Structure 1
Amino acid sequence: MKFKITLFSICLLMFFSCSNNKGEKDLEVQTFKGLYIFGPEFKTLTICRDGREYWVVDSSKVLEFNYAQLNFEKPYLPVYVEVEGRMIETNGKDPQDFDSTIVVTKLLKLTKETPPGDCLD
């Protein structure tokens, strides 16, 4: 009997861990290119092609580390990044009242030099 209960519990745990979290809409992994700004309590990515700004969650733990390695004297200085990640609709409820959040899963490029094109004003 204990074996059946344990097996049932494991199956339930696996089922719920695979389902969406709190109804958030997860989209497929894609590449984002833009200007990343990091500072205390502020992490955003402005997409080059359309100028839209998103909150950033660094699940890779590499983006914030590499930004810090640039040794800026002041926070909130933009850097050009290319990252892989997925966009999660947050409907302006949090964090920081952005409509969407980009969850970064992989850092492809980070540089102080912004390539010519859509990202320059």
Structure 2
Amino acid sequence: MNIFKSLLFLTIALAVTAMACNPRPAETKKGNTRVIKGLYSFGPELKSFTDCEEGTEYWVADSAKTLELAYSNFNFEKPYEPVYIEAEAHAIKSDSLSMSADFDSTMVVTKLLKITKEIPDGPCN
């Protein structure tokens, strides 16, 4: 019985040590937060953002839970209508097992600053 308790304690100690030594995935994948400006499209199978300045296209993860709600409040008749957004976000590598695999990076929106149907003149047009 003592051997069983010793093995159980050793297993738990190793598991705790392994978890303490490995940082959480969100901490290792998080990049620098920046303000992004560009076109956002949303629909049943696609959430994409195109950076107006770089022309880079990203899959979008809405960690603030406000971007999709604000988009749906426009009540578009068809999905995927582009809107102009400004938001605080950071880029992470896309998950190879999900829909985001078609994109090199995923833009994680942490705070929505502006959303409008009116696309400004300039590189976004």
- TM surpasses 0.5: yes
1:64-103 equivalent positions in 2, closer than 5 A: 64-90=68-94, 93=96, 94=98, 95-103=100-108
Tell me by how many angstroms 1:51 deviates. Answer: 1.2
Q: Percent identity?
A: 49
Paired amino acid for 1:97: D
Call closer, same or farther: CA 1:52–1:23 in 2, change over 3 Å.
same
Unaligned stretches of 5+ residues in structure 2: 1-8
Tell me by how many angstroms 1:28 deviates. Answer: 1.1
CA contact (8 A) 1:60 1:107 kept: yes
3-state SS in 2 of match to 1:54: strand
Partner residue, 2:67: 63
Partner residue, 2:42: 38
Larger radius of gyration: 2
TM-score, length-normalised on structure 2?
Answer: 0.77
Tell me by how many angstroms 1:22 deviates. Answer: 8.2
Whole-Å Cα distance in 1 between the matches of residues 72 and 49 of structure 2?
16
Whole-Å Cα distance in 2 between the matches of residues 116 and 38 of structure 1?
22
Unaligned stretches of 5+ residues in structure 1: none
Aligned-pair Cα RMSD in Å? 2.8
Partner residue, 2:55: 51
CA contact (8 A) 1:85 1:102 kept: yes
Count, aligned residues: 111
Whole-Å Cα distance in 1 between the matches of residues 61 and 36 of structure 2?
13
Partner residue, 1:112: 117
3-state SS in 1 of match to 2:68: helix
Whole-Å Cα distance in 2 between the matches of residues 103 and 33 of structure 1?
13
Call closer, same or farther: CA 1:13–1:72 in 2, change over 3 Å.
farther
Tell me by how many angstroms 1:115 deviates. Answer: 1.2
The list of structure 1 runs, each at least 4 consecutive aligned residues, that deviate by more than 2 angstroms after superposition, is: 11-16, 22-26
TM-score, length-normalised on structure 1?
Answer: 0.79
Tell me by how many angstroms 1:89 deviates. Answer: 1.7
3-state SS in 2 of match to 1:64: helix
Whole-Å Cα distance in 2 between the matches of residues 22 and 31 of structure 1?
19
